[in-house]
Structure 1
Amino acid sequence: MRILPGFEPFSFQGKGDEGVLLIHGFTGSTTSIREWGEYLAKSGYHVESPRLSGHGTRWQDVNRYRVEDWLLDVEDAYHLLKSRVRTMYVAGLSMGGLLALAMAEEHPEIKAIVLVNHALEFYPHPLLPLVPILRFVLPSVPAISSDIKDPNIREIAYDRTPVNGVYQVRRLQKMVSERLSQITQPLLIFKSREDHVLPVSNVEKTISRVSSSVKEVIWLENSYHVATQDYDKHIIFERSVEFLKRIGGHHG
């Protein structure tokens, strides 16, 4: 199976014994978080970033998979990373952030969580309640990709949004939401003030329901949804490393 350029999984070697599982978003690619991963690796962290099932081939393939497949993808990457580090962190963009929360719920040994514009809930839409039925008759809708303020950057992502994929994300949202109170790890959330894909209400809904004693929010003033490729990306890179070093101890 040929994987489209930009969707390939990546793995970076760090210098110490700490690792970050880094997860891309729905219909997106690992390119959206690759520069972040490179920055983490240069800062001493081992990094593992899987390609989620159905991504990197054609959009129709996303409709063939379920949320359980995506959870297996990140679980496999987690164990691969865990085999070479002692301390684990998890981070993600959009649905990748939702999967990061799911991993933190499942693995309390994960030491901290970093989210960028995570997909706890969608914007209200009259068709959303119909998605469980629509997915059988409507394969896709227009794309939600490349919500980037910088006009010189284009996200590598599918040009259609698979409807059964949306249904699976909704299932994941419900699964994660029901267990949010189980999360006790330190949590850092980056949120764009202007995000045309996911609402800012996701921040308060997450912060108010997790049981973490450390809960921090950094607002991004000059980026849209794919902030890891936008004007504020270096804020994400630098502040996430500062946060992880504060939680885990400075690298020698």
Structure 2
Amino acid sequence: MTHEFDILPGAEPFIFEGGKTGILISHGFTGTTQSMRPLAEACSQQGYSVYAPRLKGHGTHYEDMETSTYQDWIASVEEAYAWLMERCDKIFVAGLSMGGTLALYMAENHPEIRGIALINAAIEVPDMEGVLELQDVRFLDAIGSDIKKPGVTELAYDKTPVASVKEILPFMELVRKNLSAIHCPVLLFVSPEDHVVPPGNSKFIYEHIASEKKDIVEMPDSYHVATLDHDQQRIIDGTLAFFRTYE
């Protein structure tokens, strides 16, 4: 019998039906929509239709995440994309960390996407690779809440399922190998000091996508979860300007 886990308060999907331009916003690995809510709300206030899905296995309990696959996480985002496609003429995607990986995946597979905004996107995390050798270990320490700003906490799991790390690694590889399929405008935000995803990921993405219009913005005052950190407003303002430019 499978256990039904409740959704944590604050981890619910964010859905706003607005105008004919849609914004799909994805949270990251072990995280929740809470990390993306400020950006999602800012987009909805500008009249965009917004869908920030709760990725399968996230926002409940880490034992729930343990049974989900990267195909499940893609399906969560594809479902949100389909909802937006029914209502909108054009769609942008934004994502943090693995949400950025998912945004890249969507741009690789949906060339009609108008542009993607990435915040500390992940395509290679060498620190995770040792997990492939682990036997008889189910859970590792948490990776969430890497935030410089005092008093701010990310709503994320306090343990990381080994099975989930074994899912994200091949997913990152899949996306990394196909970066040249991306031609849409890309905006990359990167924290030079990030204790989860090496900042070199953003440089690698920048160099390997086929997009002519691409830009990297550094966030010197934030760690990994920059959407909740000192550079939150920089991300919101920059992302909204990016959407307006390519709408």
TM score, norm. by length of structure 2: 0.95
Which residue of structure 2 aligns with residue 206 of structure 1? 205
Give the Cα separation in 1 of the matches to 2:214 and 2:240: 16
Tell whether 2:31 aligns with 1:34.
no
Task: Please show how residues 22-171 of structure 1 align to structure 2 within 5 Å.
Answer: 22-122=25-125, 124-125=126-127, 128-134=128-134, 136-171=135-170
Offset of 1:133 from its aligned partner?
4.2
Which residue of structure 2 aligns with residue 221 of structure 1? 220
Q: Quick one: which amino acid aligns to residue 132 of structure 2?
A: P
Offset of 1:131 from its aligned partner?
2.6
Give the Cα separation in 2 of the matches to 1:56 and 1:43: 27
Offset of 1:116 from its aligned partner?
0.3
Secondary structure of the residue aligned to 2:163 is helix
Offset of 1:218 from its aligned partner?
0.5
Q: Quick one: which amino acid aligns to residue 5 of structure 1?
A: P
TM score, norm. by length of structure 1: 0.94
Deviations 1:128-150 (A, max 9, x none): 4443342x521111101100111
Gapped runs of 5+ residues in structure 2?
Answer: none
User: Percent identity, aligned pairs only?
Assistant: 44
Deviations 1:30-89 (A, max 9, x none): 000011000011122110011111112210111101111111110011001111110011
Secondary structure of the residue aligned to 1:83 is helix
Give the Cα separation in 2 of the matches to 1:75 and 1:30: 16
Give the Cα separation in 2 of the matches to 1:246 and 1:27: 32
How many corresponding residue pairs?
243
Give the Cα separation in 2 of the matches to 1:180 and 1:129: 21
Gapped runs of 5+ residues in structure 1?
Answer: none
Give the Cα separation in 2 of the matches to 1:104 and 1:53: 20
Offset of 1:200 from its aligned partner?
1.1
Give the Cα separation in 2 of the matches to 1:60 and 1:86: 38
Give the Cα separation in 2 of the matches to 1:90 and 1:177: 17
Bigger shift: residues 53-62 or 21-30: 53-62
Offset of 1:191 from its aligned partner?
0.6
Tell whether 2:13 aligns with 1:9.
yes
Q: Quick one: which amino acid aligns to residue 74 of structure 1?
A: V
Give the Cα separation in 2 of the matches to 1:104 and 1:174: 15
Q: What is the Cα-based RMSD across aligned positions, in Å?
A: 1.1
Give the Cα separation in 2 of the matches to 1:194 and 1:80: 36
Q: Quick one: which amino acid aligns to residue 87 of structure 2?
A: R
Secondary structure of the residue aligned to 2:88 is coil
Determine if contact 2:129/2:169 at 8 Å carries over to the other structure: no
Offset of 1:169 from its aligned partner?
0.7
Determine if contact 2:192/2:220 at 8 Å carries over to the other structure: yes
Determine if contact 2:116/2:187 at 8 Å carries over to the other structure: yes
Q: Quick one: which amino acid aligns to residue 4 of structure 1?
A: L
Q: Give 4+ residue runs of structure 1 displaced > 6 Å after superposition.
A: none
Q: Quick one: which amino acid aligns to residue 64 of structure 1?
A: T
